[in-house]
Amino acid sequence: MGQLDNRIAIVTGAATGLGRGIAMLYAREGADVAVLDRNKAGAETVAAAIEQLGRRSIAIEVDVGDEDAVNAAMTAAMDRLGAPNILVNNAGIVTVSPMEGMETATWDDMMRINLKSVFLCTRAVLPAMRAKGYGRIINISSQIAHKGGFGMTHYAAAKAGVIGLTKSLAHEVTGDNIAVNAICPGPLDTDMKLPPDWAANKQNDLVIGRQGRVEEIAPTALLLATENAAFYVGTTFNPNGGDVMM
C-alpha cells in the first residue's frame, strides 16, 4: 500500500530536477501523475518511467505562464487521468541580474513563470478539487524569498509572492478540505544552474557545506500530498542546508 494510492497528481516543471523527483516519488507511492513541462521530450521520458511503475501518466508540453496553454493542459490532464487531488507548482526559472541593469523583459518573464504560473495552474484545478472535497496544493518557493540575494531582486520578489499567495489561498480553501502549503528549498544540485561564481559564494553560506539533493526535498512534497497534511495550513517548509534558520 502506497501513501498516495488512488490519488491523481499534476506536477509542473516535472521533466527534470526537483519536479521529476517529486513526480517519480508520487508514482512509487501509488499516484497517477500528469507530467507538465515545456520540455516535451523530457516530460515524455518521465511519463514513460511512471507507466513502467504501473501507474497512469500523461506528458503535456505547456508554457505555464500562458493562460490559454495552462487551461488546455489542465483539461488534457483531467481528461486522461481524472480530477486531480494534488497539484505541485514547481515550474520555474532562475537568472542573476542586478536591478540597475535589469531589462524589464527579464523582470516580466520571471514574474510570469515563477508567480503568475502558480495562480494560473491553481485556479484551473480548484473547481475540481472543491467538487471532490479534497485537495493538496504544494507551491515551490525558495529560501531566497526569506533572505534575498545579490542580483536576485526579481527572483526573490516572485518567490516571496508565492509564499504570500500560499498563505492567502489557505484562508480561502481550507474549509473545502484543500491544504495549501509551500516549500522553500535551498540550492539544489539540478539542471537549473546559476553562474559558477554565484553558486560558489552561495555554497559558502550553507551550514551543511554543500548543495541539496532532490531526494532530500521530495519527501517533504510527499508529506504535504498525504492526508496527514490536513493540519498544515499555509505553512512554509524550509529544507535549505542551514542557509535560513527559522
From first to last of its 246 residues, what are the pLDDT tens digits of the chain?
899 999 999 999 999 999 999 999 999 999 999 999 999 999 999 999 999 999 999 999 999 999 999 999 999 999 999 999 999 999 999 999 999 999 999 999 999 999 999 999 999 999 999 999 999 999 999 999 999 999 999 999 999 999 999 999 999 999 999 999 999 998 887 776 666 766 666 667 788 888 889 999 999 999 999 999 999 999 999 999 888 888
Name the residue range of residue 175's domain. Answer: 8-237
Note whether 146 and 105 are within 8 A (CB).
no
pLDDT of residue 198: 61
Q: Is residue 53 part of a domain?
A: yes
Q: In sequence order, what are the beta bridge partners of 136? A: 86, 179
Active site residues: 155
pLDDT of residue 192: 66
* Angle at 217 (CA atoms; ends 189, 77), nearest 5 degrees: 100
H-state helical runs in 153-245: 153-173, 196-205, 214-225
User: How many domains are contained in the chain?
Assistant: 1
pLDDT of residue 241: 87
The candidate with the shortest Cα–Cα distance to 2, out of 21, 25, 19, is 25
Q: Is residue 244 part of a domain?
A: no
- Buried-state track 156-169, b at ≥16 Cβ within 10 A, e below 16: bbbbbbbbebbbeb
Return the residue matching grid coordinates 484543500: 178
Give pTM, 2 decimals.
0.95
Q: Is residue 246 part of a domain?
A: no
Neighbours of 212 (CB within 10 A): 20
Q: What's the first-to-final CA gap in the chain, in angstroms? A: 34
pLDDT of residue 101: 97
pLDDT of residue 162: 98
Q: Is residue 122 part of a domain?
A: yes
Quick one: cell of 58? Answer: 500523461
Instruction: Give the CA-trace dihedral at 192, 42, 75, 83, to 10 degrees.
Output: -80
Q: Is residue 212 part of a domain?
A: yes
The H or E element that residue 210 is part of is none
Laid out side by side, the sheet with 236-237 consists of: 57-61, 32-37, 8-12, 86-89, 135-140, 178-183, 236-237
Q: Is residue 243 part of a domain?
A: no
Provide CB contacts within 8 A for 227, sequence distance 6+.
none
The H or E element that residue 235 is part of is none
Q: Is residue 47 part of a domain?
A: yes
Q: Is residue 3 part of a domain?
A: no
- CATH number of the CATH domain containing 191: 3.40.50.720
Distance of CA 206 to the CA centre of its chain: 22
Q: In sequence order, what are the beta bridge partners of 12? A: 36
